[in-house]
Structure formats: structure tokens, C-alpha cells
Amino acid sequence: MKGQVKFRIYDKDNEYRFTLKRNITIIQGESGTGKTTLLQAIFNSMSGSSAVAYTVETSANYFVYTDAYTNLRWETVLAEITNSVIFIEENNRFVYSNDFAKYVKKSGNYFVIIGRKPLKGLPYSWQEIYELVSHKGSGDLRRIYEFKEFYTNFTFTDYNFDLVIMEDSNAGFEFFKNFFSNVPVISANGNGNVLNTILAADASNILCIVDGAAFGSYLQEYYDDFENGKHYNKRITIWPPESFEWVLLKAGVFTCKNLDKILENPSDYIECSSYASWERFFTALAEESSEAQWKYNKNRLDDYYLTSGIKKKVNDVLPKELQDLAKKKTDGGKTDNITKMSLF
């Protein structure tokens, strides 16, 4: 399954509108915001219940897993579903299991999972974590419900970073260690180790570069920790591009047919049964598009990708703050002990 999927679900009083862009979407938020009503409306429509009051408009097949199936194993209920959007109600503990994670990655379905806790086994994007918000519609009496991103980008200024932490220890780490020559760059050796690496670091103003396409489950944990003042002497900024390979592709390091269209609308090109996350797709695309003499390898970066020409291309697509960081002169400056975690 691939492509964006639009839903419009409505009755005379309420209307839900949302678009699914990837194979995994997480819905968070407090009780009473309309999540249960949404799932019940879709379930009634799916089952042909006489209680149907809502009209569901979408081009996709869909299925809702609710407490109506609690007497059956989830594997049995979902086994035969393909090329569909599967909605899963809150409090279904199986979504945290390794078996469910394996199923999601291979099933070829899209999933909308309602839950407040991070699902560490699933590689979902920080951009696909939402809350349900509502507002009064114009011209009629309906209330409009829509998905709102839980975490949003915002800019920053005058961040004099004294350390850069890379999520991975492979190509991206090799590149940025060379690129940021005046600032220490270390590896966390995996997204699950980023927080411990931050806490162990002898630095107070830290930039973390992570693969945003698969960092969603970690972002909530880290963000809550720092925003609640648990680590009062650290200022953390996270830059979450889709992946390092996405950066190289965006910079035009590789020649690829339809590259501009792919980067503009990745959903149209990424078959979720083949790629559990967009990070894997962009890695495969970089490998396939690289020239034979300078074959791209995620595990070991060829020296060609550290040349001034390549670094110039990458520099030109980076946020201005990272361009400035690459020019930074070591001054030994320290930041005040202000708790902050931000995205940009």
C-alpha cells in the first residue's frame, strides 16, 4: 500500500477530516476529545450496523479493531486484511508486542493507533503523531474535527552548541564529524541510546541529529523529560531530517529519475510492505542512484562524500543554523542552566 489516504466522516452535527501520509499514524490526547466517537463511527459503517449515523468517504479499504474482538486473538482478526487502513482502539496492549511490530512491518497495511505511550517497536515518524482538535465549521452547525501535529518545528537563534550527538555510527556520523570540524561530534550508536548519551555528555548545549522518519517513539519520552525539568542543566535541540540519505538526495548528490517528485510526495513512491519506514526507502534510493565508482554504503562512507564539492552541496540545503555551526570558531562558551528541548 502506498500514497496518501483521505478520510471524511460526517453526520449532521460533526465532521472528521484527515489525511494519512505514512503507514503508521499515532493519535494522542486526553479523553473526551472525540477519538472514541471517531472509531465508533468508522466501525459502525464497516460492520453495517443499524446504529450507523455517520457517512464515511474514502478511497481506501478500512477496518477498526475494537473491544468487540477481545475474545479473539488479534493475529486471527487481522490475518487476512491487506491493503487497508487498520484503526486500533486505545488500551489494546498487543500493540506494544514484538509480534505486532513484525506484523506491521510486513503486512502492507496502514495503521492508525490511538495511544498515549510510545510504541518502541515501531519505526514511525515524529511528524505522524497527532492530537484530535475541533472547531466550529463555517456556514453550517457542524463541528469540524481534524488531526493536529503533536510536535511542530520552530526556529532558534544564537545557539552556541558545544557538542553534536549523532543517532547513528555509520555514514551520517562520518560525514558530520568531518563537516563540523570545530565542534565535537560523537555517536549514540542507535536511537535508543540518544538519551543516555545526552545525560553522560559533559556539555550543556547539545545538538542531536536523528533520523526523523523513525524517531517518533523516542521523541515523546525525551521531550517530556526535559520540558518537565528533569535534566535542568541541559539545553537540547533536535534536528530530525528523514534520514542522512534524504539529506544527500535533497542536496542533489545523486542523480535519480523523478527525484524532485519523490522528495515532494514520498507517499506516492514508498510501498509500505517493502519499506517499514521512509528512512529505509531513502537509503535504498541513495544506494541505487550512486555511481559505481563511488557506490554509497550506509555502513562505510566513501571518501568521495567528504570532498569539498559534496560538502558544499549538503551545506546549501541545511538550515542556516547548521551552516553557521560548520563555520563556528571554538570559543569555549557555555550556556546558562536553562532547561529546553526544541525541534527545528
Residue 155 lies in a domain: no
User: Is residue 22 domain-resident?
Assistant: yes
Q: Quick one: pLDDT at residue 333?
A: 42
Q: Is residue 144 part of a domain?
A: yes
Q: Are residues 13 and 126 in the same domain?
A: yes
Which CATH number fits the domain that encloses residue 144?
A: 3.40.50
- pLDDT of 44 reads 87
331 and 195, same structural domain? yes
H/E element holding 64?
strand 61-65
Domain identity same for 137 and 209: no
Name the grid cell of 252. Answer: 542533489
Cα–Cα distance list, 124 to 21, 179, 267 (Å): 11, 28, 14
| Residue found by looking up cell 476529545 in the block | 33
Identify the domain boundary among 149, 174, 196: 149
Do 294 and 171 share a structural domain? yes
CA–CA–CA angle 231, 151, 316 (5° rounding) = 95
Handedness of CA 199, 202, 208, 211 (dihedral sign): negative
**Domain boundary residue among 149, 176, 205?**
149
Residue 157 lies in a domain: no
Query: In angstroms, rounded to a whole number, what is the distance separating the alpha carbons of residues 322 and 208?
Result: 12
Going 44 to 50 to 56 to 59, the CA torsion angle's sign is positive
Same domain? For 190 and 255 the reply is: yes
Residue in 259, 258, 238, 244 with CA at minimum distance from that of residue 305: 244
Same domain, 145 and 38: yes
Q: Which residue has 477481545 as its cell numbers?
A: 70
Judge if 176 and 300 occupy the same domain: yes
DSSP H or E stretch at residue 86: strand 84-88
The total number of structural domains that make up the chain:
2
Q: Where are the alpha helices (DSSP H) in the chain?
A: 35-47, 74-78, 98-107, 171-179, 194-200, 216-227, 244-250, 259-264, 278-289, 308-317, 320-326
Residues 331 and 206 in one domain: yes
Full residue range of the structural domain in which residue 251 is found: 163-343
Reduced to 3 states, what is the DSSP secondary structure of residue 293?
A: helix
pLDDT digits (tens, 9 = 90+) for 163-184: 999 998 899 999 999 999 889 9
**pLDDT at res. 212:** 92
Mark whether 231 and 293 lie in a shared domain.
yes
Look up residue 75 and give its three cell numbers. 493475529
pLDDT digits (tens, 9 = 90+) for 253-268: 998 899 999 999 999 9
Cell of 308: 569539498
Domain boundary among 90, 116, 149: 149
- Shared domain for 53 and 201, answered yes or no, is no
pLDDT for residue 278: 95
Residue 5 in 3-state DSSP? strand
> Are residues 64 and 9 in contact, defined by beta-carbon separation less than 8 angstroms?
no
Percent of residues, the chain, with pLDDT higher than 70 = 89
pLDDT for residue 292: 87
Mean pLDDT per 10-residue run, the chain (344 residues)? 95 92 91 84 81 86 86 89 92 91 94 90 93 80 86 65 91 94 92 89 90 89 67 79 96 93 96 94 94 91 94 93 78 45 60
The whole-model pTM stands at 0.89
Residues 45 and 189 in one domain: no
